[in-house]
Structure 1
């Protein structure tokens, strides 16, 4: 647009000189120099120096012929377009004085129009440049977000795999340390019974009876371990309620405060394990007639409170179930306390933000 405007002014001034009968070689040379300076400025070096040189050529041209006043519009356009306000006003005042001196009001109007057009074009160009910059920035942010998303998904898969491997190793270790040693002890007892069967049948039968009881306990421990680690497809509050509904030893009152849907699957797995262990202990030892279960969930933590009205016990025997609960809760950055003074009491705190556990 600005190139078109300058071309129109040059065509106009050339037309004026063609219409005139007395055109000097100096005036033609000035027009050629002015055109060459502007072409060089637009194509190679658009700096303030060339605008000033162009303005000087116009002033020299006005000295020879007042028709050169029209070219002041180009100088004013360039100065306004570059926002060199300190020079715009002097040049504009000079143009007005010359227009008054030579009685050419059209030149004053053309200078004002040129200044306004330059200002509008510059603002439009800056707006477009800012829009394109914001568009590029948005594209870059979208690309970075996509990269971060893919990286997060990859890390999430790796963490899930490491968590699965770690849990599998822990379960294998627990089964080996507890069930495996128990079965090995039973095997030794049965071998001993087999050796003394002919000599002391009564003693051998006692050993076999104890071995059967020990084997039943080991089998029960193995079943409980597998049951507690097996994830349920409908893991959630409905699953926790189903555990309570299937618990037939005594009535259990279950209350939930907060958005249970905000809990991550690892939290629900731990809570379900604690549910099962608490209900199992109540059925075995407490002689309770009522249980109270309260689950509170907020933005920072989840709190599980389980209490029964049974007799409790003097000293809690920390077996595989309780030690497993404590280990998993600690891995999630939480705490769990167990008391048996007046019935069994379990209080567990889990931070909501820690989904992966500290051990991974």
Structure 2
């Protein structure tokens, strides 16, 4: 094993991004991700990189557009209200097929909300991150270690598919501290960036990057091209974890991020009472891992329970994945409240019925 460092999540993902080759960072402070920006401000110069605190989130995302368009690995980070301000620029990035990495350290809302952790950006990030027909690949890490490893994949796949890629982590993962090992990642074969607007070079004419197309036929052609790309991403890049799903279960939990770790504690607790629970943990929330449900259909007596730190935003995806073959229920907390092991377990017992033990609300 390599050397481990005790780091806050925000700082660890910043360090991982630098190690992944990020050369430019543009951002604006907002809790609970400000430590990420502070780390970049302190350390980007050490790798001959550029850190620039923009005057707003709108400015930051447009700086990413310009920098990413030259082919340089670049990144921005924010939290929920800040990502909302970036949404127009993210749509431009997707249309212009500009690689970049975006980090959303999610806080509770709606509105300005509060600074406590939440998972209430799920629908926004995965279903409506901006205007027009587009999607971006979204990772939902469950630990600081996983977050540092996924940032490498995010930069590589961003370059491979010429698309923005997002790390969506709840505020708890950004603020908590864990031991982290920065592992050397195998270098992926990536295409040369012949599309980049980085000077004439040996070309006969300059590359032009644009997201405006007034000709309807050409705009439709672009949309169909993007949809073909998204189809490939759905086929090749969906990631998930199955936990304790080898055999039949009383109930299968579905959860991501920090909530999935709480659910694992619930599963271990339930074993003491002879209750067998499984867990599907989406690692990519877009594309959603439908394959995980195909593998588990028919294994659960009482269907699926989506456990989230929101008002039930992932439930629709779970229902689509199950396709009416199993019952889907929801349990969650919102407003910055974190679901506790005992309250989730009490909800599970009410579903499967008639089991008494010492745990109660």
Normalising by structure 1, what TM-score? Answer: 0.21
In proportion to residue count, which structure has more strand? 2
Give 1 or 2 for the bigger CA radius of gyration.
1
**When the two structures are superposed, what TM-score results if normalisation uses the length of structure 2?**
0.21
Structure richer in helix, relative to its length: 1
Indicate the structure whose relative CO is greater, using CA pairs within 8 Å and at least 6 residues apart: 2
